C-alpha cells in the first residue's frame, strides 16, 4: 500500500496537479466537511460507481482516520489496477489537524 501525507496532498492541490481525491465516508459526513476538490464515493457504493474512478490520474482515497481506506485500496488495486493509488495518512482527521482546522470532521 502507498500512502501520501496531508502536507504532500495540499501541495498537489495547490499546484493543481492532475489528481482525483475520493472521500469514502458516508454522504452525510462528506456534506458536513470534505477536502477541497474531493468527490464522494462511499465505500459501500464503490462497486456500482467504479466508472467514476479516473484510473489515468493519481487517485487519493480517504476516510476519517485512514483505516477503512485500506480495504478500498485493495479493492481498487484488484479491480482497476490503478498504478498511482494512495491512501491519505491519517485520513480527513489528520488533514484537518495538520492543514485545514476549519474542516469539521
Which CATH number belongs to the domain containing residue 23 in this structure?
3.40.250.10
Residues 1-40 have pLDDT tens digits of 999 999 999 999 999 999 999 999 999 999 999 999 999 9
Q: Has this prediction a pTM greater than 0.85? A: yes
User: Position of cell 452525510?
Assistant: 28
User: Position of cell 467514476?
Assistant: 52
Q: Is 103 part of any domain? A: no
CA distances (Å), origin 20, targets 27, 81, 87, 104: 17, 15, 12, 21
Three cell numbers, residue 78: 484488484
Q: Is 46 part of any domain? A: yes
Q: Is 105 part of any domain? A: no
Q: How many domains are there within the chain?
A: 1
Per the structure, the complete domain to which residue 10 belongs is given by: 3-98
Amino acid at each position: 500500500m502507498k500512502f501520501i501525507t496531508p502536507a504532500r496532498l495540499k501541495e498537489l492541490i495547490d499546484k493543481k496537479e492532475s489528481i482525483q481525491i475520493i472521500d469514502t465516508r458516508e454522504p452525510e459526513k462528506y456534506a458536513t466537511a470534505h477536502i477541497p476538490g474531493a468527490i464522494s464515493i462511499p465505500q459501500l457504493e464503490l462497486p456500482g460507481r467504479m466508472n467514476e474512478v479516473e484510473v489515468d490520474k493519481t487517485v487519493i482515497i480517504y476516510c476519517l482516520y485512514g483505516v477503512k481506506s485500506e480495504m478500498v485500496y485493495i479493492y481498487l488495486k484488484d479491480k482497476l489496477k490503478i498504478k498511482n493509488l494512495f491512501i491519505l495518512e491519517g485520513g480527513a482527521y489528520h488533514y484537518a489537524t495538520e492543514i485545514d482546522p476549519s474542516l469539521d470532521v
